[in-house]
Amino acid sequence: MTELAQAMYDGAIAAFRTHKGLADKAIVQLADEQLRVALSPDVNSIAQIMKHVAGNLRSRWTDFLTTDGEKPWRNRDEEFVDTLATREALIAEWESGWERLFETLTALTPEDAGKMVTIRGESISVPAAIDRSLAHCGYHVGQIVLIARVLAGDDWSTITIERGGSEAYNKRVWGKGH
């Protein structure tokens, strides 16, 4: 059980780092004002999504094992209001959520994998809570990358395998046998 739990934590940490890395690579390609562009009136800007993800991560991963993941101090609706005036403030907010997540995940013990936590009054297992948070982050990172791709237009630099480049990538990574 110990090795399995550690493998689960390590896999989750790697996946969260991948998601964050994709978002970071997309965000850096945009000018400050582009972070605040909504593609339509009913779509959040990248800044709003970043602020929401940060708030969610801070709430869910603060006192993860001992308090409800929906903290009384969290104001989810305010997360979707663009109140951070500068890129620096936005990035600081973004990083604070991810730091809370990584600090908590790396501190979990194998025994914690068998525990239950609460999110909005619902009791769920630690692995299910990790999966839930990973899915939530993946969903929003996908939004960030897509919006950034649209806003960057012809100035976009691919952050994954380039279109039409799979064969060359596979040969470079795996060699001629693939």
- pLDDT tens column, 104-153: 999 999 999 999 999 999 999 999 999 999 999 999 999 999 999 999 99
Q: How far apart are CA 28 and CA 126, in angstroms?
A: 33
Q: How far apart are CA 77 and CA 49, in angstroms?
A: 12
* Max Cα–Cα distance, the chain, nearest Å: 56
**What pLDDT is attached to residue 172?**
86
| Fold of domain 2-174 | Four Helix Bundle (Hemerythrin (Met), subunit A) (1.20.120)
Q: Residue 161 in 3-state DSSP?
A: coil
pTM over 0.85: yes
Domain ranges in the chain are 2-174
- pLDDT tens column, 1-36: 689 999 999 999 999 999 999 999 999 999 999 999
CA-to-CA dists, residue 95 to 32, 102, 148, angstroms: 17, 10, 18
Provide, for the chain, the percentages of residues in helix, strand and coil under a 3-state DSSP scheme, each rounded to the nearest 5.
65, 5, 30
